[in-house]
A and B are shown apart, each in its own frame.
Chain A
Amino acid sequence: MMAMLEMLLRLALWVLLAPLLPGIINRVKAWVAGRRGPPVLQLYYDLARLWQRGVVLSTLASPGFVVGPAVAWVAVLGAALLLPLGPAGSVFGFPGDVLLMIYLLALARFCTAWAAMETGSAFEGMGAAREVSYAVLTEAAIVAAVLSLSVQTGSVTLVTMLAPGTGAGAVLLAAGLFVVLLAENCRVPFDDPNTHLELTMIHEAMILDHSGPPLAVILHGAALKLLFFAVLLTEAVLPVGRLTSAAAAAVLVGGVLVVTVGVGLVESLLARLAFRRVPLLLTTAFLLCLFALLMAWKGGAA
Chain B
Amino acid sequence: MNETMNLLIGLAMGLNLLALGSNRLPTVIRAMAVQGMALGLMPLLIEGQLNWRVILVAVATVVGKGIVIPTLLRRAMRAANIDREMEPFIGFVPSLLLGAGGTIAAVGLARLLPLLPEHAGSLLVPGALASVLTGFVLLIGRAKAISQVCGYLILENGIYLFGLLLIHSTPLLVEAGILLDLTVGVFVIGIIVDRIQRAFDSLDTRKLTVLRE
Contacts and interface: CB of A to CB of B under 8 A. Distances in A.
A287 B96 contact: yes
Interface stretch (A40-48, A212-220, A277-285): A277-285
A168 B96 contact: no
B17 interface: yes
Contacts of A280: 21, 92-93, 96
B121 interface: yes
A294 B105 CA distance: 11
Contacts of A294: 104, 107
B10 interface: yes
27 contacts: A168-B7, A168-B10, A277-B23, A279-B93, A280-B21, A280-B92, A280-B93, A280-B96, A283-B21, A283-B93, A283-B96, A283-B97, A284-B17, A284-B21, A284-B96, A287-B17, A287-B96, A287-B97, A287-B100, A290-B100, A290-B104, A291-B100, A291-B103, A294-B104, A294-B107, A298-B107, A302-B121
Interface residues of B, number: 14
Interface string A144-186: 0000000000000000000000001000000000000000000
Nearest to A284: B21
B52 to A, nearest CB: 33
Interface of B: 7, 10, 17, 21, 23, 92-93, 96-97, 100, 103-104, 107, 121
Interface in A261-302: 277, 279-280, 283-284, 287, 290-291, 294, 298, 302
A284 B96 CA distance: 8
Contacts of B10: 168
Interface residues of A, number: 12
B164 to A, nearest CB: 20
Contacts of B17: 284, 287
A293 to B, nearest CB: 9
A280 to B, nearest CB: 5
A294 B100 CA distance: 11
A284 B21 CA distance: 8
A295 to B, nearest CB: 9
Contacts of A287: 17, 96-97, 100
A167 B117 CA distance: 24
A168 B104 CA distance: 16
Contacts of A283: 21, 93, 96-97
A283 B96 CA distance: 8
A302 B21 CA distance: 31
Contacts of A290: 100, 104
Nearest to B92: A280
B113 to A, nearest CB: 15
B121 to A, nearest CB: 7
B99 to A, nearest CB: 9
Nearest to A279: B93
A277 B93 CA distance: 9
A287 B21 CA distance: 11
B184 to A, nearest CB: 35
